[in-house]
Amino acid sequence: MSENTRSATPMSRQIAEHHSLLDRTLALPRPILVMLSVLLVGFAMSQIAIGYLVISGQLDGKWYDIRDLGNAMISLDGVIQNSEMDSRIASTLAYLIPTLAGATGIVSIVGGWLLIGPWVERRLIAKFQIRQGPNRTGPFGLLQTLADALKLMQKEIIIPSGADRFLYFVPPVAVFIPAILGWAPIPWSPKMSYADLDVGVLFVIAISSLGVLAVFMAGWASNNHYSLLGAMRTIAMMISYEIPISVSLLAVVLLTGSTKLSEIVLWQSEHGVWLVMLIPFAALAFLFASTAEINRTPNDIGEAESEIVAGFYTEYSGMKAGLFMGVELANAILVGALMSTFFLGGYTMFGLETWIPGYLILATKIGLVYFLFVWIRATLPRFRLDQLMGFAWKFLIPVSIALMFLTAIESSILVRWDVPNFLSLGLIGLVNITSAAGLTFVWLRVLFRDTDLSTPPAPILTREMGGLQAAKVLRG
């Protein structure tokens, strides 16, 4: 085709006329481009100014040191102590203000994510599926979530007859309890974590079990076979996958020697290594088991849309169902935060946290883990329930426990062995990776010794037609 002819079909024309992002940016009107470049220059200069402040150490510990919002709270605490207030009022205030500020922060994170998360997810999945996501409601489709929320809120509330009155109303709210509570022990910066419990890891494991209750209530109270079936599947899956999560976190605790989340992060920063490089199998097991905990694909058999409509929340209409769909997203970033904290170094980044605020680093890591979740969701088909359970009980749990024993041995060696980090940790990492790979291969070979895992042979091509006789000839 010569250059003068237009592409004939609408589809090929659309493909040919599509401009890349750079072309479209450079095609903006001139005043906007000028403004953008001015802003860029201003940003660069401000970064240089900040850099000077950071290097000269003038910023450390001041209340306006936004690299760590805990500094502000500590200064406030100091102000309250030094003022002449009644000591009880002072202590109450000193407790109340950071608590309320932190709680507001966490709820606004979760709430804010619920506003923009669906948009992000839908646009991202659309990119994987070679189409655009929502781009009509508002600029770039940003108001889509708001539109969906308003639509859901104005829907008629249909309560199935025979539904348990109290138990029917509790689950949509109750599913959010673990989604919000789980943020408590996560450290955002050295002095910034809402409730830095000494038993942070135990707290995390306990929180993940709360979700099961809400699912159970929802399935039971709906008085519906679909819901019950979906709830049973979901519960079975969730409690099965709590064990690999606990075992992975046990491996983390063994290596770092503490159940306090901030100390886990500090251990990773001191030793200059991320735990994902040392115990990769535990990290992957945690990731996979978490998708089961939060009911995301490939483990969303409980709400398998193509099979039993919506599983345990079939009977919920309007915003109640919307809350169930929303909590999946809130849980996704919670798991992202946990994964980052335990395995990806939390708010530290090999020294970058003196320049960029720790919470921004953590937010970036959460975003990356979330992207991984969306990628998996867009690509993989769903596992069947018996395949899921078999995978958890027959593969993940035994192998995780075996590798956890290995980690225990390594951690006791690490404590006693006086060698530079590079050597000891490198050796541990190497041993872990090879043993994980080896154990996986061997165990899978044992598990699937009866099934044929090879790529099936290609179909036969023939030109002779016929019935059973010809089929016999073809088979040889």
Partner 1 sequence: MRTSTQLSGITVGEVLGKSLPGIVTAVTDEWIEVGPDRVIETLQWLLNSDEFDAIQLSNLTAVDRHTHIEVVYHLQSLDLNHQLVVKTRTHGMDPAVVQSAYSVYKGALLQEREVYDLMGVRFEGHPDLRRLFLWDGFPGHPLRKDFLGMPGRITSGLEGFPFEDKDKPIRPINQENVEAGVAYVVTGETDESKTGTDLSEDRG
Partner 2 sequence: MTTSTEPYILNIGPQHPSTHGVFRLRVVMDGEKIKDLDMIVGYLHRSMEKLAEERTFTQNIPFTDRADYLAAMTGNLGLAIAVERLAGVEVPERAEYLRVIFSELQRIASHAMANGTLISDAGAWQTPLLYMFREREKILDLFEMTCGARLTTNYMRIGGVAFDPPVEFWPALQELVDELPDRIDEYHELLVSNEVFLARTRGVGVISPEDAINASLTGPALRGSGIPWDLRKADPYSVYDRMEFDVVVGRSGDVYDRFMVRMSELYQSVKIIKQAMSQIPAGAHKTDIPLALRPDEGEIYSRIESPRGEIGFFLVSDGGPSPYRFHIRAPSLINLSLLHELGRDAALSDAIVTLGSLDIVVGEIDR
- Pattern 118-137, binding to partner 2, x per CB under 8 A? -------x--xxxx------
Whole-angstrom Cα distance, residue 274 to residue 257?
15
How long a stretch of residues is the chain? 476
3-class SS of residue 157: coil
The single residue among 382, 394, 398, 408 that binds partner 2, judged by CB under 8 A, is 382
Q: Which is nearer to partner 1, 78 or 466 (CB)?
A: 466
Tell me which H or E stretch contains 110.
Answer: helix 87-128
Tell me: does residue 139 bind partner 2 (CB under 8 A).
no
Q: How many residues bind partner 2 (CB under 8 A)?
A: 55
CB of 469 to partner 1, least distance (A): 5
User: Which of residues 129 and 462 has its CB atom nearest to partner 1 in the complex?
Assistant: 462
Instruction: Report the C-alpha gap between 202 and 348 in whole angstroms.
Output: 22
Residue number, 163 or 309, with CB nearest to partner 2: 309
End-to-end CA distance of the chain: 48
Q: Does 21 bind partner 2 (CB under 8 A)?
A: no
Is residue 57 left, alpha or beta, with left meaning phi > 0 and alpha meaning psi from -120 to 50?
left
Distance CA 64, CA 475 (A): 79
The interface partner of residue 469, options being partner 1, partner 2, none and the CB cut-off 5 to 8 Å by kind, is partner 1
Among residues 19, 62, 151, 384, the one that binds partner 2 under rule CB under 8 A: 384
**Tokens in use for 87?**
């000591």
Residue 116 or 474 having the CB closest to partner 1: 474
Q: How far apart are alpha carbons 63 and 191 in whole angstroms?
A: 12
Q: What does the DSSP 8-state code read for residue 141? A: G
Regarding 467 and contact with partner 1 (CB under 8 A), the answer is: yes
Tell the smallest beta-carbon distance from residue 222 to partner 1 (Å). Answer: 30
DSSP for residue 65:
-
Pick 271 or 382: Cβ nearer partner 2: 382
Residue pair 61/71 in contact (Cβ under 8 Å)? The answer is yes
Query: Which two three-digit tokens encode residue 244?
Result: 């690999």
Q: Is residue 468 within the footprint of partner 1 (CB under 8 A)?
A: yes
Q: Single out the segment in contact with partner 2 by CB under 8 A; choices: 303-311, 338-346, 406-414, 426-434.
A: 303-311
Amino acid at 277: M
Q: Are 344 and 189 in contact (CB under 8 A)?
A: no
Residues that bind partner 2 (CB under 8 A): 1, 5, 7-12, 125, 128-131, 225-226, 229, 297-298, 304-309, 377-387, 452-453, 455-468, 470-471, 474-475
Residues that bind partner 1 (CB under 8 A): 463, 465-470
